[in-house]
Structure 1
Amino acid sequence: MTDSLTQRVAFLIAHAQPDEAACLRARQGLVDYLACTFPVLTRALPDPDLDTVRQQFPPTHAAYRALLLGYASHALDYDDFHADLRGHPSAVILSTLFALLGAASNVVTPSAFLAAYVTGVEMAARLGLAAGHQHYVIGFHTTATLGGVAATAAAARLLGLSVAQTQVALGLAATQAAGLRRQMGSSTKPLHVGWAARAATDAVQLAAAGFDGQKEGVIESLLLSHGGSVEWLAQLTSGWGAPWRIVSPGLEFKRYPTCSGTHSAADAALRLRKQLLAEGMAPTNFESAIASISVRFPVGGDTAPAITGPVHGIEARFSLEYVIADALLTGALPLSHYTAAPVIPAIALLAKRVVRQPDASVPPDADNPDLRFHHVQLRLHSGRAFDACVARAESRTWQADPLQKLYEALNRQKVLDVSAAVADAELTSIEALQRWTKRLMAALEC
């Protein structure tokens, strides 16, 4: 062994042995991934650009299958989130793994598949920690830039690449790392995931075939060039798998189909709605009764949900104003409000009364996003005021049930036996893994 960080990381990837707790969490992540991917692939929920992507990248080989799966899995922006990455690891990682399974002739066991997935999440989380907060703040979309390298780690573990081959694969993925946060609110954001999954698939297949590439310094180069001069390289290897990052801090399964940076604001608005209802106010009178709404948060706490005047539901996923107004008026954030359809006029009208108030009296969000809060206050024309404050740490405990999400997704499609599908999704047998792989590959051809 040398002092190369890239080699140390490759060694950890090649020899990763996740425990049962990590594999249990991986099963939950897999269910959530399938629930978010199938409705889009089968057009149970329409997507404005899926057909365009499919036409340009027909699923004729593994890399294009990874791209299509990546796009579909993130199209709803409902897939899981990891705080260390500040992004969505499973969409990239599982899209890559399933694409490779669809092309493989050898049989892969569920334990090997889950171990690869856990390894990928570990890599994603540690890349996020090592890159530091400035990577995201200066404008990179971490799911795209770091997610592709993490997916490469998972795929290298799945295919049993040697340490040297893994080093080459990581370098091939790292040199393709790209994606700008400015694309949020458009179909390019899920395409970032597809591109990252394609890059990971190409990287491991080339490395496995003996393709040459730099083995030393590639991970260091990625972090130093993308970290905004704030990097902690030791975070990449120190304490690897102790505990596995898929367990702690763990995957977060979205409760709402909006940017995770809006969730505590939505929860605060829902509490305000309950207060208004307790006062005997009817929801039909909210719009006329509310004079103003303010939302306070640490400086930088609105970096991701930066869109103030969304035109359609995809942009609305990244609008604090729209999410707060939706929660107040409807008492929910239904998926139907966050598609490519135009924003709902009544919600958009109330959203215009929401004013952002970054709070400079508390540490900035970049110092520790886990300390983020949203303090929402509304004032009625009568002069009465109501307020509610929810911290991200509190909001993240209110997560969706992946099994219920999958049940609802498959029930809408009416194409699979729901109870059998849910049991299958927990991957208790090789046959279950093969069935899901075949279903995904068949859906790609639709």
Structure 2
Amino acid sequence: MSLIDRILDLAALPAGVLPKPALAMARLSLFDWLVCGRAGINEPLSGKLRRLAEDEGGRGAASVFGGAPAPARMAALVNGATSHALDYDDTHFGHVGHPSVAIFPAALAVAEEAGTSAQSVVEAFLVGAEASVRIGMALGAVHYNRGFHQTATAGAFGATIAAGRILELTREEMRAAIGLCATRASGLKSQFGTMGKPYNAGIAASNGVECARLAKLGFTSADDGLAGAQGFIPTHSDAPDTEAGWETPPPATFLFEDIKYKLHACCHGTHAMIEALLTARRETPDLSTVTVESLHLRTNPRWLAVCDIKAPRTGLEVKFSYNWLAGMVLSGKDTARDDTYSDALAADPELGAFAGRITVEGDASLTDMQAEGSLKLADGTQLAIDHDLGRQLPEAELAAGLRNKARALLGDRGEVLWQAMQGLSALSARELGRHTGA
């Protein structure tokens, strides 16, 4: 079976066959997405996009984080970028993308306009996210490594499928929507460390709304814009594998269940190192930038082009700097709070001095979720460090971690939002949208 037919089958799965464990993770992702979006309302890029929405005007059909309702496509753009502004949202390492910020904004905007339920938003998101992971795996690591941002590329297909599901597209309409997305999807890693990175997420969500709605209007497209001749995958990957991951097809297996959540407000590629250093500090409390003479870190080579900024100039760039983040952990700075990452932090002389004592090396034997290394102490002692983010945590432990994160970002409003999500099955999409307010 061709990839496009497999994706179309996935897009058409009845709600009743979606796995309960995957739906439970999708609900956690919804909560986490709302928390990240509300926490990002006051970021400069968010205000600029709300201004763009106000200037363009149009029918206020969908909710906007911190702003007035806007047309669905514009709401998806603003909400996608706003929720990725802090770079604190979930990650799927199957293709190294952020599903929630690309797909939830599209699903919610279209569902609010269509007047469907909050549950339909969760179901559409789950199907779209699963499709984005599998399309991202078909594109392969070479797609990401050569500079494409999977959140924006594979994520746009997920957003299209989620929006199309809400709009109840026929199989042929969904095929057309995917074909239109193939000529629309875009996003580059060169934007990392700037406002352009979260903008990529907004573009993906906006593209999803646009492509699904055009298909509903009867817009035509290539029969197989995904993997056909001169389609998205063959033109955007030198080593595509359209069979990747399909030895375990849905609905029996949903790869989305391996979603990972951020508990540090920086690039997910740095989290294994951070956790390894935090473990070392718990075991050896006197570790600091003073007592550590040097750090040698080994990480998957793909991260060297993503989060190895040696001399960050801004708080945003600090989030993509192994050298700065290592010093932050060892000097006791809170990597979980977004307000830690100020522009002044990039000029911190202590961190700058320690950064020169760190070497980062690519090691292809490590997965995207692993980090290993060694600390040399001033007294000559060598300490080995390692961490693997791939360990699956129980749902209750995940929920507790996300509630703590929500309280750290939103204060008491975080717990209010958590309680509201417990009644999700009774909410309409419009009622869900009200939780994007400040």
TM-score (norm 2): 0.86
| Residue in 2 that maps onto 1:268 | 276
| Residue in 1 that maps onto 2:360 | 356
1:237 CA drift (Å): 5.4
**1:14 aligned onto 2:12:** yes
- 382, 386, 396: which one aligns with 1:385: 382
| Residue in 1 that maps onto 2:349 | 345
Given the superposition, is the C-alpha separation of residues 72 and 427 from structure 1 closer, same or farther in structure 2, using an over 3 Å criterion? farther
| Residue in 1 that maps onto 2:411 | 411
**Preserved CA contact (<8 Å) 2:106 2:205:** yes
For 2:338 and 2:164, the matched residues in 1 are separated by: 35
1:57 CA drift (Å): 3.4
Structure 1 stretch displaced more, 125-134 or 422-431: 422-431
- 98, 107, 111: which one aligns with 1:101: 111
1:226 CA drift (Å): 1.2
For 2:237 and 2:224, the matched residues in 1 are separated by: 19
For 2:365 and 2:269, the matched residues in 1 are separated by: 14
The number of equivalent residue pairs is 414
**1:306 aligned onto 2:308:** yes
Give the residue type in structure 2 aligned to 1:369: D
1:323 CA drift (Å): 1.2
| Residue in 1 that maps onto 2:146 | 138
Give the residue type in structure 2 aligned to 1:25: M
**Preserved CA contact (<8 Å) 1:66 1:197:** yes
Deviations 1:366-413 (A, max 9, x none): xx535x322132331x4333332223435989967223323443326x
1:301 CA drift (Å): 4.5
| Residue in 2 that maps onto 1:319 | 321
**1:373 aligned onto 2:333:** no
For 2:46 and 2:145, the matched residues in 1 are separated by: 29
For 1:93 and 1:298, the matched residues in 2 are separated by: 27
Given the superposition, is the C-alpha separation of residues 270 and 420 from structure 1 closer, same or farther in structure 2, using an over 3 Å criterion? closer
For 1:395 and 1:194, the matched residues in 2 are separated by: 29
- 65, 79, 92: which one aligns with 2:75: 65
- Which secondary structure does the structure 1 equivalent of 2:240 belong to? coil
Given the superposition, is the C-alpha separation of residues 373 and 204 from structure 1 closer, same or farther in structure 2, using an over 3 Å criterion? same
- Which secondary structure does the structure 2 equivalent of 1:292 belong to? strand
1:356 CA drift (Å): 1.7
- Which secondary structure does the structure 1 equivalent of 2:40 belong to? helix
1:63 CA drift (Å): 0.9
**What aligned pairs does 1:173-184 form with structure 2 within 5 A after superposition?**
173-184=181-192
- 395, 415, 430: which one aligns with 1:434: 430
Give the residue type in structure 1 aligned to 2:241: W
| Residue in 1 that maps onto 2:214 | 206
**Preserved CA contact (<8 Å) 1:16 1:119:** no
1:138 CA drift (Å): 1.0
Give the residue type in structure 2 aligned to 1:125: V
| Residue in 2 that maps onto 1:246 | 256
Q: CA RMSD, aligned part only? A: 2.5
For 2:37 and 2:382, the matched residues in 1 are separated by: 42
**Preserved CA contact (<8 Å) 1:122 1:241:** no
Segments of structure 2 that go 5 or more residues without pairing to the other structure are 55-68
**1:336 aligned onto 2:348:** no
Given the superposition, is the C-alpha separation of residues 51 and 401 from structure 1 closer, same or farther in structure 2, using an over 3 Å criterion? same
